[in-house]
Amino acid sequence: MALNGVMVIDKPTAWTSHDVVAKTRNLLHERSIGHLGTLDPMATGVLVLVIGKMTRLCQFYEHSEKAYEGAIRFGFSTDTFDAEGDPLGPTQEVKVTLEDCRAAAAGFVGKLQQVPPPFSAKKIKGVPAYKLARKKQDVELRPVEVEVKEFSIAGMEAGLAEFRSRVSSGTYVRCLAHEMGQRLGCGGHLASLRRTAVAEFQLEDAHTLEQVAEAIGRGRLEELLVHPRRVLPYMPSVTADEDTVGRIRHGRSVNLAEFSRAKWVKVFAGQSELICLASRVAGSLFHPKVVLLG
């Protein structure tokens, strides 16, 4: 039986997002697996996997808010803006106070024009920036508007500042760390990063790859999947009768009178089988746009 669902993985450090997807494909014997937002290898935490027909939901998460916690090391900057890079100069004495750090962080909250780091997957004439940076070639990336909704410093000790942040999709947290170091005049880089949320998916929903393997061995993998009713919570849900399911199966519009003001509706067959996302055509008439039926 084909597996369709959403599963949150607690990505381990030193793994790429692609590594996690490849490992999960091997564990599940399922080729159709994607994710809702890359994490750098050094980062850990929430990596949301969409499996089978649920990959069709990716389009609804392209601009999802993300939340992080981590630490910034002051004293020197690196070429990658994180702990995996080479220092850009000698270590400097850090005379920054907690108050200085909090004041600087507050200046990054809001909409910003952020230039992506040179070691990133952003493409320049079709070539990823990190490939050019590794060859010591000039990397000129255009600034992109991002929004930092929260950037708070929880504490600071021995030049290491712990922070929490909530940011729009496309925001590079390591850029914030690098720019913090510049603003405070002592240099800085991202020392650690853990993603705690992507859209509605939280760290509390996450499972390790070892837990996934164990659940498969016990025949209980479905217990690790996010319940479909929790997916895209801003869309109302309706449980369809047999006639409505039949109409959807043949790509025909359906009447959902109770949702005449909604733009999208999640349609279920029973309590847990998400069969389609329907968009409103006019009035209470909805057309099945994203069909998940076999």
Residues 53, 57: Cα–Cα separation, whole Å: 8
CATH 3.30.2350.10 residue spans of the chain? 5-64+200-226, 66-198
pTM of the model: 0.91
pLDDT score recorded for residue 133: 45
251 alpha-carbon distance from chain centroid:
31
Residues with catalytic function: 40
Q: Is domain 231-291 annotated with CATH 3.40.50.1970?
A: no
Quickly count helices (H) and strands (E) in the chain: 6, 16
Residue type, 56: R
Identify the CA nearest to 240 among candidates 175, 188, 171, 288: 288
Q: Which CATH superfamily is domain 5-64+200-226 in?
A: Pseudouridine synthase (3.30.2350.10)
| Tens-place pLDDT, residues 49-98 | 999 999 999 999 999 999 999 999 999 999 889 998 899 999 999 999 99
Level-2 CATH architecture, domain 66-198: 2-Layer Sandwich (3.30)
pLDDT of the residue at 136: 60
